[in-house]
Each structure stands twice: as structure tokens, then as C-alpha cells.
Amino acid sequence: MVHRSSFRSAAVGGFAVTSIVLAFAGARHLGAQSQGAANEYYDSHFHLTNYVQKGTDVHKFLEIMGTRVGRSTLFGIPLQQQWSYANSGDFAPTYYLQTDAPLYYYSFTDAYIASVYRSLSAAEQARFDPMITGFNPADMYGVDHIRRVLEVFPGVFSGIGEFSIHKEFVSAKVSGETASLTNPALDRILDFAAETGLVVILHNDIDVPFAKDNTEPAYLSQMKALLKRHRNASIIWAHVGLGRIVHPVRSSAEPAERSTTQLEIVEAIVADPELSHVNFDISWDEVAKYAVASPESIARVVRMLNAHPDRFLFGTDTVAPATPEPYYAVFNIWAPIWAQLTPDASLKVRKGNYQRLFDEGRRKVRAWEKAHVK
């Protein structure tokens, strides 16, 4: 049996060498960022495993990335779908919509992600930013899990997430207390993210499913209040707050009835100096479908990205792709929008903002580990 202190000492020694390699790789990417084809990107939102903790071998995923995807986040899914024989019999569900059985937090996902990351060469590791996800955001001890992961696996993780607070169909299925934007447990987690520099990828639907038009989104005020309480944290609001059923906030054409629309809400957040630490990822094929739904929607999204190119990151939100086709399909849906972005906006959304945020996250987390991991 390896003594834990010995394990940590070996890990810290290794992480110092790894940090040098990552710093060199980051500098190399910085110099090369302006190069490459218009269909190249960094992936800000990628799940290596699914809801039953199975997925793509990380070496196979590197083959799928090829030279087209220079860097990617790396995380599993923090929730495990229970296989309840009473509910589905011999049918083994692999997705949360395939059964009424509950979901529960599966903390081993972080150890698994760390192990597959450490199986890579230093050059291969430099292409990934692993994320901690296996914590319960409704648990006041959730932050202790995050700290423990950094202590046991120094030199590995760059952030936390994707983790969910309000998520259509998922929140109601999670065993135990329902997560909330007003729970002090979440504040403790975001305070620690600010302390360590961990980049946060937070999923929170802006509204409830099947919401009526011309109404205030159910979770907007709470979300903005949360974000303003944590101005020192680097936070990415996943999917621009949208979901499969949680559609973009819409309003009537009549001025007397008109309320703020989705893009106006996002642009107001971008313009608010108290929310300058908040960015948005435009991941998930469902979000892409909203963006390209009509010539009008395409024009509105193009205008927003061109006007605020520093605040958006592309991501696929693919889950354990077995082949290149489903992995690249999400990027390709955005083709009408990529074609109309300025070169500067396109490069920042596809690569530059990822590099800026995650390079800074790596630097801060490695410094925190150096000071606190013994």
C-alpha cells in the first residue's frame, strides 16, 4: 500500500515538471493562434463519459480531435443514472430521459478523469484542461470535495464543471436536496473557485420549461445576483442559459407588451461592469439550432458575436463521441454564422477566448497548489 504522503510528494514533483511543459505549450499555442483554417477550434465543453460513466477512450478522442481541435476541456458527467429493475426491468438506461429512476452524484468521475489524463504524454496533456465535476452543489461539504481533488491530483485540473443548478428534467430527478442559486453551499464553491483560479462552467437554465413569452425568466434575477456576489471568479454560463425545452426568451411585437429578449438579456450582462468576469459558451447542438433557425436569428447572433467577440466561447457539448462525424457536427451547424463573423471575432470565439481563460486558470491553480499542497 502506498502511503498517501508519499503519493502526494511524487505527484507534486511530477506536477512541477508538467507545469513547465504546459507553460511552454501555452506559449507555443499563443504564437500560433492566428494560424490555421477557419474550421479549427478549441472545445470549451466536452464530456468524455456519459450518464453511466462509460465513454470514449481518451487516446481515441485525440485521434478524433486530430489537428483540427487544438485543445479541449475534459470532464465526465457528475450524475449517475440508477438502473432500477422495478422501473425498467432488464432495460439498462444510459440517459436520464430513458427511465424515471433517480440520478445520484458520482464522485469517482474526478479520479477517473485524472487517471486518463495522467495516461497521456506531456505534449498530449497540454491539449486538455480537465475539470472537477463530482461534487454536490447543494452540499455544504461540496467545496471540500473540490479541495481534496486538487490535493490528491495536483497538476491536473484547470476548473470545475460543467455542473448544474437548475436543469430541465434533470434537477427533479437528482436524489436528495435540490440545488439552488441561493444555497450558501454554492457560494462556498464559487468563493473557493475565486481563491484558486479554477475556471467555472455552470449550467443554469434561464427559465423553466414551456415558459410563456413576455414574462421575466424564472431564474434570471437569482442568477445575476449570484454572479455579482462572485466577481473574482472566472465563470462561464453554459449554453447561454438555454436548454432543449428552455427556448430563447421571446417577446411580443407590440411595444406595450414587449419584454426583454434573450439576446438583450445576454448583451445587458456583457455590458454590465459588475459582470465582466462572466462569459458564455455557445455549446450544444440544441443551442446551435436556435441560432440558425432563421435568417433573422442568424443576423442577430452574428451582430452580437461581432460586437462582443471577447465574451463567447465555442464548445461542442458532445458526450463520448465514437467517431468524428457526431463530434464535428455541432461546429458545422454554425456554418452560416461562422461565414459572417469578422476574422477577429471568429478567431476569438473559436480559439482565443478559450486560450485566454484557461491559460490563466492553469496558471492560478498551479500557483495555488504550489502554495497549499504538501
Q: Are 196 and 368 a contacting pair, CB within 8 Å?
A: yes
- Which pLDDT value is given to residue 254? 54
Burial bucket for residue 356 (CB in 10 Å: 0-12, 13-18, 19+): middle
- In this prediction, residue 251 carries a pLDDT of 64
- Global model pTM greater than 0.85: yes
**CA neighbor of 44 nearest in space, from 190, 199, 176:** 199
Please name the amino acid found at residue 187.
Answer: D
Cβ atoms of residues 136 and 105 within 8 Å: yes
- In eight-state DSSP terms, residue 349 is I
Peptide bond into 162 cis (omega under 30): yes
Angle at the Cα of 229 (from 227 to 231), degrees rounded to 5? Answer: 70
Position 25 scores a pLDDT of 45
> Maximum Cα–Cα distance for the chain, whole Å?
72
Q: How many residues does the chain have?
A: 374
Residue 28, pLDDT score: 44
Q: Are strands 312-313 and 128-132 parallel, antiparallel or unpaired?
A: unpaired
318-319 and 46-47: which strand pairing?
parallel
Total domains, the chain: 1
Query: By CB neighbour count within 10 A (0-12 exposed, 13-18 middle, 19+ buried), where does 208 fall?
Result: middle
CATH number, domain containing residue 136: 3.20.20.140
3-state secondary structure of 149: helix
pLDDT tens-digit profile, the chain (374 residues): 333 333 333 344 444 444 434 444 443 443 444 457 999 999 999 999 999 999 999 999 999 999 999 999 999 999 999 999 999 999 999 989 899 999 999 999 999 999 999 999 999 999 999 999 999 999 999 999 999 999 999 999 999 999 999 999 999 999 999 999 999 999 999 999 999 999 999 999 999 999 888 889 999 999 999 999 999 999 999 999 999 999 999 865 554 444 579 999 999 999 999 999 999 999 999 999 999 999 999 999 999 999 999 999 999 999 999 999 999 999 999 999 999 999 999 999 999 999 999 999 999 999 999 999 98
Domain range for residue 203?
Answer: 4-372
- The dihedral of CA 134, 135, 141, 145: what is its sign? positive
Tell me if 321 sits within 8 A of 327, measured CB to CB: yes
For residue 54, what is its C-alpha cell? Answer: 462509460
